[in-house]
């Protein structure tokens, strides 16, 4: 089993949310609640306010640097359309697209529309126009889907999607590979709440069980989703959890790859099997 770690970019600045949605008031309620419940320390609480004043709700550069040190390929999903809680501008997205590409990161689309094939196509073309980079892969924001989403993404010409949450191996939908993911930071640490409900040790034990489950299913790939915003001492449990995940996988001799490599492996294996059938 190989590991694919990816990062969804949901926020870049605080100001992008002002007067546009309820993200800021929800953040204030959440931080005060977590402090009152003893889920975060006072220094962590202060750090969150420091980020707030700095207008900084992303940690992309810091995360890439850490991944490079640990030899983990950086795979990002960035949006080009506004959606629930995702409100950064396209010029700001372009700034980070350029940095990701210049630093050798894998860059894919964090999709918004999951139901209309025409809008799905428009969003894909907008990503290409803004980044000058073809979107080979996609993950829908909030992993939203309907019965036609995956098929429509295939029709739009994506090489892969990683929206489905399942302990399954990759499978073909039309000409596209669906690479299910198994672990997401929020689902482990929030555990069904809208705030941090698990301690670091609880999150670690829950994650170990999920990794064991992936082994029991003999999966080809373990796919993990970690949001860049949480790579900060402002969210210490999340930061420590991610560092632990990477070190744990290294300790257990897990090979890290990105989606492009995985898709190439899958295509090679598929072609090999087809050639074998032709010679029978």
Contacts 24+ apart (CB under 8 A), 270-278: 270/172
**30 pLDDT exceeds 70?**
yes
Q: What is the CATH number of the domain that holds 238?
A: 3.20.20.370
The pLDDT of 56-66, averaged and rounded, is 98
Tens of pLDDT, residue by residue over 79-111, are 999 999 999 999 999 999 999 999 999 999 999
Domain count, the chain: 1
Q: How far apart are CA 177 and CA 138, in angstroms?
A: 11
How far apart are the C-alpha atoms of 98 and 158, rounded to whole Å?
Answer: 21
Give the residue from 17, 142, 175, 181 showing the smallest Cα distance to 88. Answer: 17
pTM of the model: 0.95
Model confidence at 221: pLDDT above 90 = yes
* Domain that includes residue 79, residue range: 2-278
């Amino acid at each position: 089993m190989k590991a694919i770690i990816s990062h969804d970019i949901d926020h870049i600045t605080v100001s992008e949310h002002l007067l546009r949605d309820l993200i800021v008031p929800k953040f204030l309620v959440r931080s005060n609640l977590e402090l009152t419940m003893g889920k975060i320390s006072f220094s962590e609480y202060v750090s969150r306010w420091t980020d707030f004043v700095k207008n900084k709700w992303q940690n992309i550069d810091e995360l890439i640097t850490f991944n490079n040190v640990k030899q983990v390929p950086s795979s990002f999903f960035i949006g080009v359309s506004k959606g629930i809680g995702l409100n950064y501008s396209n010029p700001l997205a372009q700034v980070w697209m350029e940095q990701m590409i210049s630093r050798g990161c894998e860059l894919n689309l964090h999709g918004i529309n999951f139901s209309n094939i025409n809008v799905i196509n428009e969003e894909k073309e907008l990503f290409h126009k803004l980044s000058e980079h073809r979107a080979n892969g996609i993950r829908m924001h909030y992993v939203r889907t309907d019965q036609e989403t995956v098929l429509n993404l295939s029709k739009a010409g994506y090489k892969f999607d990683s929206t489905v949450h399942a302990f399954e191996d990759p499978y073909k939908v039309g000409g596209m590979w669906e690479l299910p993911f198994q672990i997401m930071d929020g689902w482990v640490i929030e555990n069904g709440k809208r705030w941090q409900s698990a301690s670091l040790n609880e999150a670690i034990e829950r994650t170990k069980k999920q990794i064991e489950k992936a082994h029991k299913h003999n999966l080809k790939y373990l796919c993990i989703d970690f949001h860049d915003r949480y790579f900060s001492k402002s969210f210490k449990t999340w930061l420590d959890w991610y560092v632990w995940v990477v070190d744990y996988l290294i300790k257990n001799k897990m090979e890290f790859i990105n989606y492009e490599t995985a898709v190439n492996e899958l295509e090679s294996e598929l072609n090999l099997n087809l050639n074998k059938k032709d010679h029978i």
